[in-house]
Amino acid sequence: MISIVWRCIALMACLSLQEDSFPFNETRTHVGVKYSVLKLNQAQQVEMERTHKVTLTQNQKNQLSGFSKYSPPVLRILPSHYDDCSCGMTAIGVWFLNDEIEVPHSFLPNSRSDYLEFGPTDDFRYGISIDTNGELWFRTQKLSISEAVTRLRLLHEEQLLTIRSASEPPWGLVFTPPERSLRNRGQFMGKLDKLKKALAKAGITLSAPPYIKDRESGS
């Protein structure tokens, strides 16, 4: 199961006309609908790994302009292992490889107002990210293990006021890259293991799907 927070992110704007499940082919190696492939420059690759967003160049916006009435300036990036509701989402790119994304045409906004209402949001209200080399990030701030623990504890406390129940054990979400994109798998898994142990000492359970299974699954 994917983390419940991903579900909350996806469901917050379910009045959108977007589809309620994300279409992949059977092997999850490509989007299973009409899409455009955008090649990413080095700065965009860094932005994607750290923030799970990509700011588009004018050429890339032009490339998408023939498929919708509005070309979004920024795309929310979903990793290829994403496996949950996508209702309420628009302006999405799917991350299979590090140097390109696939943009499904059916998720492009029809207007600027659609983009502003249903486009990329600040997912760092819910967790932190880990890049393909195993470095931890909160937006553009690089985190040590101890800083990551502190940040995840603070996020849990903030979410007690909104989406989390006071009766549930504390847990911390880490947004992760696709497995095929990992540049240093050993370093990546080693960092997750260290973070998991450090969080456990603080009484917090780590959720970093699909590498560390969702807390709901008991894994």
Whole-angstrom Cα distance, residue 216 to residue 36? 35
What pLDDT shows up at residue 164? 64
Report in angstroms the alpha-carbon separations of 71 from 61, 66, 79, 115: 5, 9, 21, 9
Instruction: Report yes or no: 103 and 64 within 8 Å, Cβ to Cβ.
Output: yes
- Global pTM reads 0.84
pLDDT band at 55 (very low <50, low <70, confident <90, very high): very high
Query: Read out DSSP for 115-163?
Result: HHHHS---GGGTEEEE-TTS-EEETTEEE-HHHHHHHHHHHHHHHTTTT
pLDDT tens digits, one per residue of 1-18? 344 444 444 434 333 334
Residue 206: pLDDT over 50: yes
What pLDDT shows up at residue 214? 52
Question: Structure tokens of 19?
Answer: 């589809």
The pLDDT of 194-212, averaged and rounded, is 94
**How much of the chain exceeds pLDDT 70, in percent?**
84
Whole-angstrom Cα distance, residue 82 to residue 6? 9
Whole-angstrom Cα distance, residue 109 to residue 119? 8
Please report, for the chain, the start and end positions of each structural domain, with discontinuous segments joined by +. 4-121, 124-212
Whole-angstrom Cα distance, residue 216 to residue 214? 5
A 10 A CB-CB count for 12 gives 15
What pLDDT shows up at residue 85? 76
pLDDT tens digits, one per residue of 140-178? 999 999 999 999 999 988 877 676 666 777 889 999 999
pLDDT tens digits, one per residue of 104-114? 999 999 999 99
Beta bridge partners, 206, equal: 172
